[in-house]
């Protein structure tokens, strides 16, 4: 693949097919590894696929191309999502997905920029990704570079105080080349987000911090594309998409199950899940 240009895949139907392949590859690598995070990887597939393949400019043959758009998976435990997308985009052969979490593998349990070119920053210490995204976006602006920065956070992650410091910073400096996403699937490792540490009202909080806020169904590709277009048009403030999603989306017997936050499918579950996605 050569340089991917903005609007490279504008057809929602084609993006849905890519999302299917990404989900299948996530399940494949998690089952083979026997270790990793299933629910949160699956919940953010649709919005991440839309960002990468409808909006972002990148060049897998030159991961450090200065004019590329940047993508930060702040919820780094969902690394299988990022790896499946990168394989789909041509950063490395699909066979490499078989090496998830193996010693010396470039596909570490959390994304590592020193191991895998194309990963912008090592993530996994929750709460830090938005701060890094701010810095990247400001740097691009100082360089008069029109590239944009995208950052996906978990809903449980926004319980972290650093997120709100970063939110204030982004609004203060009017970082409008930044688009953040909250993967609002309602569950974290210890249970329902609202029970562990309530974050509602999410929309009002981000809005009060000075952000342009768009609420979307995080599995409706057409609505995701509309929101990304609106974010790109927004001037003078950063944009955050509140993507209302389902943990484990795409596999009925994983959906909304907190236990699948950090466990992987059994071989039998994998076979069932593959059939369900193919038939979905």
Between the alpha carbon of residue 122 and those of residues 30, 143, 189, 223, 273, the distances in Å are 20, 23, 21, 30, 30
Characterize the bridge pairing of strands 187-188 and 191-192: antiparallel
The torsion angles phi and psi of 79, rounded to 5 degrees, stand at -50, -35
Q: What's the confidence (pLDDT) of residue 4?
A: 58
Q: Is residue 175 within 8 Å of residue 136, measured between CB atoms?
A: no
Beta bridge partners, 178, equal 149
Residue-level length of the chain: 280
Q: Is residue 251 within 8 Å of residue 276, measured between CB atoms?
A: yes
pLDDT less than 70: residues of the chain: 1-8
CATH homologous superfamily of domain 12-279? Thiamin diphosphate (ThDP)-binding fold, Pyr/PP domains (3.40.50.970)
Q: Of 97, 75, 78, give the one whose Cα is nearest residue 86.
A: 97
- Indicate the domain borders of the chain: 12-279
Q: How far apart are CA 231 and CA 240, in angstroms?
A: 8
Q: What's the confidence (pLDDT) of residue 1?
A: 38
Q: How far apart are CA 71 and CA 119, in angstroms?
A: 8
The token pair at 53 is: 């393949």
Expressed in percent and rounded to 5, the helix, strand and coil fractions of the chain are 45, 10, 40
Beta bridge partners, 240, equal 180, 213
Q: What's the confidence (pLDDT) of residue 280?
A: 78
Helix, strand or coil for residue 80? Answer: helix
Q: What's the confidence (pLDDT) of residue 10?
A: 72
- CB-count burial class (<10 Å; 0-12, 13-18, 19+) for 172: exposed
Give the chain's end-to-end CA distance (angstroms, integer). Answer: 28
Q: What's the confidence (pLDDT) of residue 96?
A: 97
The token pair at 150 is: 């995208």
Q: What's the confidence (pLDDT) of residue 3?
A: 54
The torsion angles phi and psi of 156, rounded to 5 degrees, stand at -65, -30
Q: Of 157, 189, 159, 145, give the one whose Cα is nearest residue 72.
A: 157
pTM: 0.96
Q: How far apart are CA 268 and CA 271, in angstroms?
A: 5
Q: How far apart are CA 57 and CA 19, in angstroms?
A: 18
């Amino acid at each position: 693949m050569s340089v991917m240009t903005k609007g490279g895949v504008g057809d929602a139907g084609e993006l849905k097919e890519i999302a299917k392949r990404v989900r299948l590859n996530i399940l494949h690598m998690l089952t083979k590894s026997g270790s990793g995070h299933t629910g949160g990887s699956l919940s953010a597939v649709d919005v991440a696929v839309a960002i990468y393949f409808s909006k972002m400019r990148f060049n897998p043959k030159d991961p450090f191309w200065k004019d590329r758009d940047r993508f930060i998976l702040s919820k780094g435990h969902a690394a299988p999502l990022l790896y499946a997308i990168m394989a789909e985009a041509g950063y490395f052969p699909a066979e490499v997905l078989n090496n998830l979490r193996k010693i010396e593998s470039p596909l570490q349990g959390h994304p590592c920029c020193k191991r895998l070119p194309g990963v912008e920053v090592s993530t996994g210490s929750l709460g830090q990704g938005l701060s890094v995204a701010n810095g990247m976006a400001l740097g691009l602006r100082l360089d008069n570079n029109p590239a944009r920065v995208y950052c996906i956070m978990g809903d449980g992650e926004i319980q972290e105080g650093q997120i709100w410091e970063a939110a204030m910073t982004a609004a203060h400096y009017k970082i409008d080349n930044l688009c953040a996403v909250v993967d609002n699937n309602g569950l974290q490792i210890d249970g329902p987000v609202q029970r562990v540490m309530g974050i509602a009202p999410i929309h009002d909080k981000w809005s009060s911090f000075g952000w342009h806020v768009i609420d979307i169904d995080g599995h409706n590709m057409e609505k995701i594309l509309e929101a990304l277009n609106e974010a790109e048009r927004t001037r003078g403030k950063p944009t955050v998409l509140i993507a209302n999603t389902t943990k484990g989306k795409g596999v009925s017997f994983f959906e909304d199950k907190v236990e699948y936050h950090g466990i992987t499918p059994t071989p039998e579950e994998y076979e069932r899940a593959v059939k369900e996605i193919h038939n979905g």
